[in-house]
Chains A and B, each alone.
Chain A
Amino acid sequence: DAKTTQPPSMDCAEGRAANLPCNHSTISGNEYVYWYRQIHSQGPQYIIHGLKNNETNEMASLIITEDRKSSTLILPHATLRDTAVYYCIVRVANSGYALNFGKGTSLLVTP
């Protein structure tokens, strides 16, 4: 799996957009970018994933640069319940192998 780099922590005001960056400069052509989050001591929760096109779902948007060496997860209107650790993981889809978690970004949404 390609290595990812994320800032250890970020703050965001409630109602504002939270933009979480991830660098994955060694990503290979068949690797997807996955984002998961873990809300205090719960199991990680899938957010979104993409290969090279920008993606949007009901939770978030994923912007992947054209060279695919970095991406940004956008929570458009952060709420207090979005306070969590966010993990960016690069992985071949349906690999049969486990996800490898880095340290992630601890996002604190403040009132």
Chain B
Amino acid sequence: SAVISQKPSRDICQRGTSLTIQCQVDSQVTMMFWYRQQPGQSLTLIATANQGSEATYESGFVIDKFPISRPNLTFSTLTVSNMSPEDSSIYLCSVELDRGGYGYTFGSGTRLTVV
């Protein structure tokens, strides 16, 4: 399956600041997906990032709060802007790669704590 490197693995940030999370894939992919997982909850899709076009955001998520870049077919960033304690979550990136039917591969996640 694809290998995804996600950085940072964790961070503690002050409210009002921003954090950029990076996701690097070891092969070219068309779509990259960003999720949020709040404490004790399941994964919620934030947006889909397609190279060369603006990301598509799910209901409840807006570009000003979660800007996404997708400069090429192997890399994407998610920024969590103007953070508040409610943004404390795990953020994960994912790609769909049909290598022997593995389907979707996920990064190891970024655990964000906002204080």
Q: What is the interface of chain A, defined by CB distance below 8 A to chain B?
A: 34, 36, 41-46, 49, 85, 87, 91, 93-104
Give min CB distance, B113 to chain A, whole Å: 12
Interface residues on B, range: 20 to 34
Q: Do the beta carbons of A94 and B42 come within 8 Å of each other?
A: no
Kindly report which residue of chain B lies nearest to residue A99, judged by CB atoms: B104
Q: Do the beta carbons of A44 and B106 come within 8 Å of each other?
A: yes
Q: Is B30 in contact with chain A by the CB < 8 A criterion?
A: yes
Q: Do the beta carbons of B94 and A41 come within 8 Å of each other?
A: no
A residues in contact with B102, CB < 8 Å? 46
B residues in contact with A93, CB < 8 Å? 98, 101, 103
Docked pose: A95 CA to B98 CA in angstroms: 10
Quick one: given A34-B103, A46-B104, A49-B103, are A101 and B43 in contact (CB under 8 Å)?
yes
